[in-house]
Amino acid sequence: MAGNKNLSFEFFPPRNDEALDELAKTAKDLGQLNPEFFSVTFGAGGSSQNKTLETVLKTRSATNLNVAPHLTCVGSNKENIKALLDEYQSHGIDHLVCLRGDIPSGLMHPGEFMHASDLVSFIREHSGEHFTIDVASYPEPHPESSSPDEDIKHFINKAKAGANSSITQYFYNVDAYLYFVDKVRAEGLDIPIVPGIMPITNYKGLLRFSNACGAEIPRWIQLRLEAYQDDKDSLIAFGEDVVTNLCQQLIDNDVPGLHFYSMNKSAPTLNICSNLDLA
């Protein structure tokens, strides 16, 4: 990792105007770390989708930094995706994080795109090389995958469809990341695989989310978080220690960057970056 150019910070679209203003402040705080880009999530299957562009534009004008919208394809069709791509391009947006999205319960048909690889191919077909494309990867395999090797095969196909780089699901097992990268490199794929970092600031939310997305919380971490759940200060201090150590090990292993799932808060990420002398 060379300098702060390889940091990126992820936000989700805030629910109301007040929270959008607060997020602009968070972005300014994190912008002081001179990240390569911010990204803004996109709600699969509806809800917050039109808020993504609003959040991208507001964050960009608050910071003058590059902001990449996420784009999911589940339940969508080519016409919708085309319209979004053209709109993004008309706003000077040139970086996307492309995903399938989690399949909403009750969705009977995935739409015209079965997998993120279909979306990436379609973007290259429609928009050529205009967009830099990031895709997701899963050092602890994706929960729906039939086997770890199949998951890697699908990741490689997705990258070959036209992705420039990848951001991983968050993890707390460095070995899982290093093993995954080795396996991918052995298959001849050399795009950057940037670890996704989830700061730890609460116990129950992290547990729920980790169960859903297949990220393992090692037992020793889980037991301590459980013990600290009524002692917010100890939990936050412990979480900061754990994630700082995780990032340090990753940096020692020459990762191409760090992508923080900021949860729209600046302090947890800033503290970790400051511990790592990145601030």
The position carrying tokens 């402040």 is 25
In the set 10, 36, 140, 240, the catalytic residue is 10
Q: How far is the CB of 161 from ligand FAD (least distance, A)?
A: 10
47: left (phi over 0), alpha (psi -120 to 50) or beta: left
Closest CB to ligand FAD among residues 99, 242 = 99
The position carrying tokens 């600290």 is 228
Let me know if 187 is a catalytic residue.
no
For residue 56, the one-letter residue type is V
Stretch of 87-95, 149-157, 218-226, 244-252 contacting ligand FAD, by CB under 6 A: 149-157
With both helix axes pointing from N to C terminus, report the angle between 116-127 and 78-90 in degrees, rounded to the nearest 10.
50
Among residues 58, 60, 100, 224, the one that binds ligand FAD under rule CB under 6 A? 100
Q: What residue ranges in the chain does DSSP mark as E strands?
A: 7-11, 37-40, 67-72, 95-99, 132-137, 165-170, 193-197, 258-261
The alpha carbon dihedral of 134, 139, 141, 143 has a sign of negative
Indicate whether 162 belongs to the interface with ligand FAD (CB under 6 A): no
Among residues 117, 165, 210, 264, the one that binds ligand FAD under rule CB under 6 A? 117
Q: What residue ranges in 84-216 does DSSP mark as E strands?
A: 95-99, 132-137, 165-170, 193-197
Closest CB to ligand FAD among residues 100, 224 = 100
Among residues 145, 234, 244, 275, the one that binds ligand FAD under rule CB under 6 A? 145
Indicate whether 158 belongs to the interface with ligand FAD (CB under 6 A): yes
Among residues 101, 162, 195, 268, the one that binds ligand FAD under rule CB under 6 A? 101
Binding site for ligand FAD (CB under 6 A): 41-44, 70, 72, 97, 99-102, 115-117, 136, 142, 144-145, 150-151, 154, 158, 167, 169, 196
